[in-house]
Amino acid sequence: MERLVKYLGRVDYEPTWRAMQAFTDARTRDTQDEIWLLEHPPVYTLGLAGKEEHLLCATDIPVVKIDRGGQVTYHGPGQLVAYLLVDFKRMGIGVRELVTRIENAVIDLMAEFGVSANGDRDAPGVYVDGAKIAALGLRIKNGAVYHGLSLNVDMDLTPFNWINPCGYANLKVTQMKDVGAPVTVEEAARRLLPHLERHLTVMKSKETA
């Protein structure tokens, strides 16, 4: 079953999150998977296990407590967000495998620019020379996944200095522009999509081999 891809532009965080919840609650075994590609205005999101102590100082940036895994992260203009609304049961793989596949999509994108990137089994996300370039946060409900990944493309990274990104003190953060991959968010979305599509397509023969 092909996935429906939606390019939503710059949209507010909370209505988009609520739309993901509604989509997931309403889906059936025959519901088509969707990928939403977008940007958000400045916002901090605090995951289910999120500790407010990781918000290091008061700012004018709103904080939204949400239902994904993980700690605190920042979304803002110039960052590509990809929400993956997929039937997890239909994929027939484990959570760690899903995380790895999403990370590998970003790693493959960076390789197009000659940039070496890697995942970290102990701290999900994608890193370039030890600095985080993409964050992951997922929620699985009734066998379906929502939330997804954020990829720093060409943005003001300053708000990351006001938090412990993903709960890690002194974690360095980077973006595509600063590692030799200068593209717009729109181009990053266009180039990331085929990698996501490929890695989210489970080859049954390989899974059962």
Any binding-site annotation on 69? yes
Any binding-site annotation on 70? yes
The whole-number pLDDT of residue 52 equals 87
Any binding-site annotation on 75? yes
- Please list the active-site residues: 166
pLDDT of residue 209 exceeding 60: no
Lookup: tokens for 71: 């700690």
The whole-number pLDDT of residue 111 equals 98
The contacts of residue 181 (CB under 8 Å, 6+ apart) are 110, 112, 113, 115
Any binding-site annotation on 71? yes
Residue 147 DSSP class:
E
pLDDT of residue 205 exceeding 50: no
User: How many domains is the chain built from?
Assistant: 1
Average pLDDT over residues 73-100: 95
> What is the band of 203 on the pLDDT scale with cuts at 50, 70, 90?
low
3-state secondary structure of 94: coil
> What is the band of 194 on the pLDDT scale with cuts at 50, 70, 90?
very high
The whole-number pLDDT of residue 28 equals 94
Closest among 147, 133, 145 to 188, alpha carbons compared: 133
Average pLDDT over residues 92-116: 96
Q: Alpha-carbon distance 2 to 33, whole Å? A: 7
Q: Which residue has the tokens 């379906």?
A: 144
The whole-number pLDDT of residue 195 equals 97
Lookup: tokens for 130: 């030890």
Tens digits of residue pLDDT in 12-70 = 999 999 999 999 999 998 999 999 999 999 999 999 888 889 999 989 999 999 999 88
> What is the band of 207 on the pLDDT scale with cuts at 50, 70, 90?
very low
- Residue 48 φ then ψ, to 5°: -55, -40
**Residue range(s) defining the domain that contains residue 35:** 4-208
The whole-number pLDDT of residue 51 equals 87
pLDDT of residue 208 exceeding 70: no
Better pLDDT: 169 or 85: 85
Strand partners, 151: 80, 134
Detail the DSSP E strand segments found in 77-178.
79-87, 118-119, 126-128, 131-141, 144-152
Angle, helix 95-112 to helix 185-200, in steps of 10 degrees: 140
Strand partners, 63: 44
Tens digits of residue pLDDT in 134-193 = 999 999 999 999 999 999 999 999 999 999 988 888 899 999 999 999 999 999 999 999
CATH of residue 113: 3.30.930.10
Instruction: Let me know if 21 is exposed, middle or buried by CB neighbors in 10 A (0-12, 13-18, 19+).
Output: middle
- Residue 165 φ then ψ, to 5°: -55, 125
